[in-house]
Amino acid sequence: MRSSDSWRENDRCCLVIIAHAKRGFSGTYRVSRITAQGLWLAAAVSLPAMLLLWNCDSILSALGQQESTVVLTKSYLHAIVWGFPAMVGSEILFNTNFL
């Protein structure tokens, strides 16, 4: 397991534990607040990640990658960058058992 995977798992587990504790303690109102806060956090994380993915061609060129690889990677990342916020948001919703 890569370190980024374990960070993602730990972050997901914390949100799930908080949501389940609040659901058992005081009902769905608290869970909806926690889920909303998780979605705001997802938006805050997604924007810098989208900027990084969008400008990855200059980063790859600076690292000395071949131009053909940079062009293919740029077109791929420009296509997936718009799905990144939806992916992070769906992780929040599925892992707080809101969907």
Instruction: Provide the domain count of the chain.
Output: 1
pLDDT, one tens digit per residue, over 49-82 is: 999 999 998 999 999 999 999 999 999 999 999 9
pLDDT on residue 1: 45
**Spatial CB neighbours of 57, under 8 Å, sequence gap ≥ 6:** 70, 71, 73, 74, 77
Average pLDDT over every residue of 13-17: 62
Per-residue pLDDT, 13: 59
Residue with more model confidence, 18 or 66: 66
For residue 12, the enclosing domain spans 3-95
* Tens of pLDDT, residues 27-55: 556 677 777 888 888 889 899 999 999 99
Read off the DSSP letter of residue 99: -
